[in-house]
Structure 1
């Protein structure tokens, strides 16, 4: 599905390539009327595609005023590294925090190592740039920056601490970040799922299971516990997960945990529903008119029996 969306997007971008500068009045009008992610993606992509430095600068300034940089991040991700290389090199050393952030974003999108520049960026005064740089350092397994990661665990910014801990876990030093990651996992932020995964990875497994067991005792944190159980990779918990699929407040994460343990089940369409009423009145009340995919516990149970018989 994602591949098909990408193909349709590329077809539309081809239209912009063909239109060239004639497309700008329409792009500008859209950006003026709707200064949002999609519009900034188109404007940023066009400016880079045409190599128009003035347009690149004006689009970045418009994004700064609108506090909407996600579209520019997407535009940088869509272009090939060779196309954006010079821009990114200039941005990584810029005085402007937004430019440095965009430069690191481009490196992260294309798995490019900024080499010695990353040593400075993981200490960047801008919290967003620093957090993203720490994430990139962990992803690239930059063991030479382990001390900087440890130092960042004392930062005031929550995101900086989270991604420093995440990076240390990627280097195999999760014991240094365990407490911070568990705290971030329960913070209810957009990065909580990443923190949860890192906290599970940091181990040790016995302690992780005990921690998740504690989270199960509260309805507020039970969804995290169910999701985390799926991250442990233990397929023997499937009967327990099937029972959680019957409980509306954790049904969504039980489905996600199941798919993490059994990715091959994604092809089994009869195991899922987008109609909460199929799980009973409790689920219908919980989700009301939401369009959401849930696992059908009875069907999953029957599928499990067939799977075991085939082994």
Structure 2
């Protein structure tokens, strides 16, 4: 077997997994994200240059592979009907690989997807339909009236993806269907219905649904908390954070929520949380999210506390093998950060939302989308939609070159 192809194949899988992390990471700038996408594209080009042989490398992993194997195989197979049929058939049997196939559809240029997407949307299999809806949404191409039909389905993955797509595409006409789904017994359905409805301007029932999800442990608790606070005024956000106190995991959620409020009243409390090793880095991120302080330029970054270790230890008997969530965030020097705040606090009006040091209007959100970290860009995309309901959500997970084209079209 061609060793170069094996290397291309394995490296492409690794880079795609790295990309999945990078999409909402706090430590990837637009330039770093572009570099990652260029590396991934180079590996995929190496496979496509010898497509027949490369497909033979991909085939064995389709029986029980992960999403990363299916991403690579899908990119390779999408222009060859027999290969593509094989990928779809196997993916239906392995629900956990959906993200890999969907990601491949988002990766490809839209000009190559018209016939593929039409076929996906025209099938009767819900998982395959969901791939078609995902392809349309990721390319911000409206599938038209059919989206309403999927929103009205009783259940299933196609309905979930349609609920999300309605918000991503800015489909104001679908707000009644989204609001009807707020009463669904499934939390996942309620979350996507509420998230999209809020982007489309609902500050009543949809915000209430997000608030309820934020108060209960679950898969979407943190996302619901952030979406509610971004869409709400300062007092509503403060009341939710107060109600969270005492609940499991509340300390972390309240710190994250404080950053999303954009209210400088939280700055002194966040500085206190930066003094505790277990909350120091996430509190620093929330402080930056409000103030916009450039911790590199201001020389606020510090070394980790003495004895602190990130990730699994060297002890073979240590069962904790998880990498900490905050590993990519910097440690800030608390005393220097307090001094910076004392000097600059007068710039921040009480009870006025500040996002990275400025009002989150359309112009500032565009600035963050051009310059911020991936996590900041994701928040900026949502704030832009919240301020202009019906706007398509900027696709911060799209291939870097597609994002650059969209930004180049903006006014100077």
TM-score (normalizing by structure 1): 0.86
- 1:259 and 1:129 map into 2 onto residues whose CA distance is 38
The answer to whether residue 335 in structure 2 is matched with residue 304 in structure 1 is: no
How many Å apart are 1:285 and its aligned residue? 8.3
Q: Which runs of 5+ in 2 are unaligned?
A: 1-31, 314-322, 349-412
Deviation track 1:143-168 (CA, whole Å, cap 9, x = no partner) reads 21111011111112211111111122
Deviation track 1:80-117 (CA, whole Å, cap 9, x = no partner) reads 11111221122223210011110111122111111111
- 2:303 and 2:149 map into 1 onto residues whose CA distance is 48
Which residue of the partner structure matches residue 85 of structure 2?
A: 57
Which residue of the partner structure matches residue 76 of structure 2?
A: 46
Mean Cα deviation higher: 138-147 or 216-225: 216-225
Deviation track 1:110-134 (CA, whole Å, cap 9, x = no partner) reads 1111111111121233433212211
Which of 213, 224, 229 pairs up with 1:184?
213
TM-score (normalizing by structure 2): 0.66
Which residue of the partner structure matches residue 264 of structure 2?
A: 235
Alignment of 1:165-176 (within 5 A): 165-176=194-205
The answer to whether residue 331 in structure 2 is matched with residue 295 in structure 1 is: yes
Alignment of 1:17-96 (within 5 A): 17-32=48-63, 35-48=65-78, 51-67=79-95, 68-96=97-125
Deviation track 1:19-69 (CA, whole Å, cap 9, x = no partner) reads 12121111223445x601211111001001xx2112111112222223221
Q: Which runs of 5+ in 1 are unaligned?
A: none
Alignment of 1:83-232 (within 5 A): 83-218=112-247, 220-232=249-261
Which residue of the partner structure matches residue 5 of structure 1?
A: 36
- 1:288 and 1:163 map into 2 onto residues whose CA distance is 34
Contact 2:182 2:193 in 1 (8 A): yes
- 1:224 and 1:38 map into 2 onto residues whose CA distance is 30
Contact 1:244 1:254 in 2 (8 A): yes
- 2:135 and 2:279 map into 1 onto residues whose CA distance is 36
**Cα RMSD (Å):** 2.8
More helix by share: 1
How many Å apart are 1:194 and its aligned residue? 2.4
